[in-house]
Structure 1
Amino acid sequence: MSKIRALPGFVAALALTGSLGAAAATAGTAHAAAPSDHAQQAKRIYNGMQIAFPPNSTDLFCTIGAVGTDDHQRKIAISAGHCIRDTSGKYADHEIPDDIIPVVDRNDTKYGPIGYVRYFKDPEGSQTGHATKDYMVIELLPQVTLSSQGPHLKQTGVLKYPQGPVSPNAMKPALDTERLLTTGNNEIITSGQTGTWYGTVMNNDNGIYRAPAVNKAGDSGGPVIWHVPGTDLPSQANKFQAAGPWAGITKAITLQLPPFNYTSSANILADLRAREAAVPQHDIYGAGFEVTPNP
């Protein structure tokens, strides 16, 4: 795993994700151009945006999985926790109220920070991150504009799957947003550097999905949506666009088949709610996260 020091005590790292092949529909990547005049145009933040962590090289990057607001109406982005290593042990798995880990749009670094990391779950020595809590919460700047439309995926809220098994991170009773997709009869759609992919959820290991939907290094944290039955799958005919509820984020590649791993949105939302319930002030960054309805 490639890595470089970011700040004293921090290391930003690429996900352990290769580019193994799988049968699926694909298209080239596309990224919305950032405005050159920041004073006149708002900065739009969307799923699929590649992000970096200064002063790291932008060759080391991750991807935004979803954007929206939390229960305090703060603007929030979700990505993968294993994108940052805390070598000091002071900050992983803790709220970070100070602006010590800036986040920038990899393709528009001149804009400056779009927000700051408020929480991340350190990989704890694992190359593929913590088993069920591999996520990062970024508080975005108040002046940015949230968008549900990424380069290829439009997110239509948060996945609710009431008939699914409960996330291992959930309290009792679990919410419908904290239940997992069943295997063999559900498809997920992903988007990253190699294009737009879809595949059946072949395995569900405590909310870590394995599917033949391709990802590669740098796609970590990127968007996953549920294929709503009866809706169009991405194809050349629709320019590889798809819409559906947010279902998770890109995690890693492992040696199992299919090799592509994704952390469920249910695991993330359940852990956020559990962590907020555990603190008297009930003020955890990202708790109560809802995907933005903004186009």
Structure 2
Amino acid sequence: MRALPGLVAALALTGSLGAAAATAHAAAPSGHAQQTKRIYNGMQIAFPPNSTDLFCTIGAVGTDDHQRKIAISAGHCIRDTSGKYADHEIPDNIIPVVDRNDTKYGPIGYVRYFKDPESSQTGHATKDYMVIELLPQVTLSSQGPHLKQTGVLKYPQGPVSPNAMKPALDTERLLTTGNNEIITSGQTGTWYGTVMNNDNGIYRAPAVNKAGDSGGPVIWHVPGTDLPSQANKFQAAGPWAGITKAITLQLPPFNYTSSANILADLRTREAADPEHDIYGAGFEVTPNP
């Protein structure tokens, strides 16, 4: 396989490891049009030809303002030491993405943008996200293994994301601390916890994550709705509130990038683009069950 110099997939949450990502063909493998492939939050994804032991997780799926099918994950899942691909739109099918548990299907989409971690082992401080354009023939679903996403979080009373333009949209405002809970889902199960710290849209909460969960789903606990428990088979529903980011030495150690930061940065980049054609801009969570 032909390697792209300096472009490597990183072990989520812990640093850069792995082989170089390969050049992929634009055409979908034969048979895809006849197959039904459902894409959902919580799906583990890998980046060929890297080992599937190095993986990240999808945080949300939906469409952008050009009606392209889009998945959101963490930016630090890719490292580009050359600086050629990070922080740029990638219209070519250079970085394929596969379902870690169904690699025989082939690519489910291609990375169109990822934010350079800028020397951080846990990703950029406020813009740690990745945009994946999914294949047109896949089926989007708002229902992950444990979390049902009911749209995008709007929190009009919250502080404004540092990535937002003025005036900020309600989807670009942050959860306040001490009175909001988030619910997460990953390899160790479904967790919830109070947002105990908000550092420019990076939430810290006791909801657990581990390596590989990077980019995975976070929803807001709508007051009055059921929390995940054994009684409901650890299922929960709520608006998309962010993605898994990192484990740090602070307490609680589990960090999450707010959806507000991601959506605000997408809108800001779209406004600065002469063509107004930024992959993922205007992202909306799919309403499909």
- Which category describes the TM-score, using the shorter chain as reference length? over 0.9
Alpha carbons of 1:210 and 1:32: their partners in 2 closer, same or farther (altered >3 Å)?
A: farther
Deviations 1:94-150 (A, max 9, x none): 000000000000000000000000000011111111000000000000000000000
More deviation, 67-76/10-19: 10-19
- Once the two structures are TM-superposed, the CA of residue 24 in structure 1 deviates from its matched residue by 37
Alpha carbons of 1:23 and 1:245: their partners in 2 closer, same or farther (altered >3 Å)?
A: farther
Alpha carbons of 1:18 and 1:271: their partners in 2 closer, same or farther (altered >3 Å)?
A: closer
Q: Please list every run of 5 or more consecutive structure 2 residues that lacks an aligned counterpart in the other structure.
A: none
Deviations 1:1-35 (A, max 9, x none): xxx9974321111122699999999xxx9999999
Q: Is the 8 A contact 2:270 2:278 kept in 1?
A: yes
Q: Is the 8 A contact 1:18 1:217 kept in 2?
A: no
Q: Is the 8 A contact 1:65 1:222 kept in 2?
A: yes
More deviation, 11-20/180-189: 11-20
Alpha carbons of 1:86 and 1:23: their partners in 2 closer, same or farther (altered >3 Å)?
A: closer
Q: Is the 8 A contact 1:35 1:43 kept in 2?
A: no
- Once the two structures are TM-superposed, the CA of residue 238 in structure 1 deviates from its matched residue by 0.1
Q: Please list every run of 5 or more consecutive structure 1 residues that lacks an aligned counterpart in the other structure.
A: none
Q: Is the 8 A contact 1:253 1:261 kept in 2?
A: yes
Q: Is the 8 A contact 2:24 2:95 kept in 1?
A: no
Deviations 1:165-190 (A, max 9, x none): 00000000000000000000000000
Alpha carbons of 1:233 and 1:203: their partners in 2 closer, same or farther (altered >3 Å)?
A: same
| Superposed CA RMSD | 6.2
Structure 1: how far apart are the matches of 2:216 and 2:108?
Answer: 17
TM-score, with normalisation over the residues of structure 2?
A: 0.93
Alpha carbons of 1:291 and 1:180: their partners in 2 closer, same or farther (altered >3 Å)?
A: same
Structure 1: how far apart are the matches of 2:18 and 2:65?
Answer: 40
**2:98 equivalent to 1:101:** no
Deviations 1:187-227 (A, max 9, x none): 00000000000000000000000000000000000000000
Alpha carbons of 1:12 and 1:22: their partners in 2 closer, same or farther (altered >3 Å)?
A: closer
Alpha carbons of 1:168 and 1:240: their partners in 2 closer, same or farther (altered >3 Å)?
A: same
Higher relative contact order (CA 8 A, sep 6+): 1
Q: Is the 8 A contact 2:96 2:107 kept in 1?
A: yes
Three-state SS of the structure 2 residue aligned to 1:9 is strand
Structure 1: how far apart are the matches of 2:96 and 2:235?
Answer: 31
- Once the two structures are TM-superposed, the CA of residue 59 in structure 1 deviates from its matched residue by 0.2
Alpha carbons of 1:61 and 1:34: their partners in 2 closer, same or farther (altered >3 Å)?
A: farther
Three-state SS of the structure 2 residue aligned to 1:274 is helix
- Which residue matches 1:20? 17
Structure 2: how far apart are the matches of 1:216 and 1:61?
Answer: 12
- Once the two structures are TM-superposed, the CA of residue 88 in structure 1 deviates from its matched residue by 1.0
Three-state SS of the structure 1 residue aligned to 2:261 is helix
Three-state SS of the structure 2 residue aligned to 1:237 is helix
Q: Is the 8 A contact 2:218 2:242 kept in 1?
A: yes
Structure 2: how far apart are the matches of 1:185 and 1:286?
Answer: 30
Q: Is the 8 A contact 1:12 1:53 kept in 2?
A: yes
TM-score, with normalisation over the residues of structure 1?
A: 0.91
Structure 2: how far apart are the matches of 1:31 and 1:202?
Answer: 45
- Once the two structures are TM-superposed, the CA of residue 37 in structure 1 deviates from its matched residue by 8.3
Alpha carbons of 1:217 and 1:78: their partners in 2 closer, same or farther (altered >3 Å)?
A: same
Alpha carbons of 1:214 and 1:5: their partners in 2 closer, same or farther (altered >3 Å)?
A: farther
Structure 1: how far apart are the matches of 2:193 and 2:102?
Answer: 32
Deviations 1:254-292 (A, max 9, x none): 000000000000000000000000011100000000000
Q: Is the 8 A contact 1:17 1:215 kept in 2?
A: no
More deviation, 183-192/13-22: 13-22
Q: Is the 8 A contact 1:80 1:251 kept in 2?
A: yes
More deviation, 35-44/177-186: 35-44
